[in-house]
Structure 1
Amino acid sequence: MPLVEFTPQLHRFVDAPACRCEATTLRDALEAAFAAQPRLRGYIVDEQGHLRVNVVVFIDGRRARDLRGLSDPLVPDSRIHVLQALSGG
């Protein structure tokens, strides 16, 4: 089953445990994580369900491409890393 992991910085704001789930797309995996921890949704996706601009997702080491539909495919052993983008100087 795919594994969704969240950046440690996110833990400052909300409990964000890793989540194993039955999922074939990034959206399915994120929805499973949100079902386990509903407060995560507001930090990861916007009101339209699109990935927030300050969030970056990597699937098996590659950056997710579909930031709106979140339709990037997963395989049974995919690892998804959800990170908050850093900014500043």
Structure 2
Amino acid sequence: MRIRLYGLLRDAADRRTAVEMDVCEGETVGSLLERLVAQYPRMRPLLFARPGVLLPHVMLVVNGRDVRDGRGLDTPITPEDDMAMFPPSAGG
């Protein structure tokens, strides 16, 4: 599965614009993120308020839909899915 990264998440992943992750049967967005932050530990404070709780302004989009509009971190994923991760941003 290809995960596109934006903003500070890109920096936390050694300046990669995307990473490839294998997806196991029964995998969820949450389990994939846990594996991702194990690989790139600097991502954890950019994504999670505490274990299992996303920061309020982090947006995770799977196949064009924000996971918060569905099952959140329990959203099931497959190898064919497309995911984009947007960190909180400031500005006005």
Query: What TM-score does the superposition give when structure 2 sets the normalisation length?
Result: 0.75
CA RMSD, 1 decimal: 1.9
Structure-2 residue corresponding to 1:32: 35
Query: What TM-score does the superposition give when structure 1 sets the normalisation length?
Result: 0.77
Contact 2:37 2:43 in 1 (8 A): yes
CA distance in 2, matches of 1:59, 1:84: 15
- Find 1:15's aligned residue among 13, 16, 28: 13
Contact 1:4 1:82 in 2 (8 A): yes
* SS of 1:76 mapped into structure 2: coil
Task: List runs of 5+ in structure 1 lacking aligned partners.
Answer: none
* SS of 1:5 mapped into structure 2: strand
Report the alpha carbon displacement of residue 22 of structure 1 after superposing the two structures with TM.
2.1
Task: List runs of 5+ in structure 2 lacking aligned partners.
Answer: none
State percent identity of aligned pairs: 23
* SS of 1:77 mapped into structure 2: coil
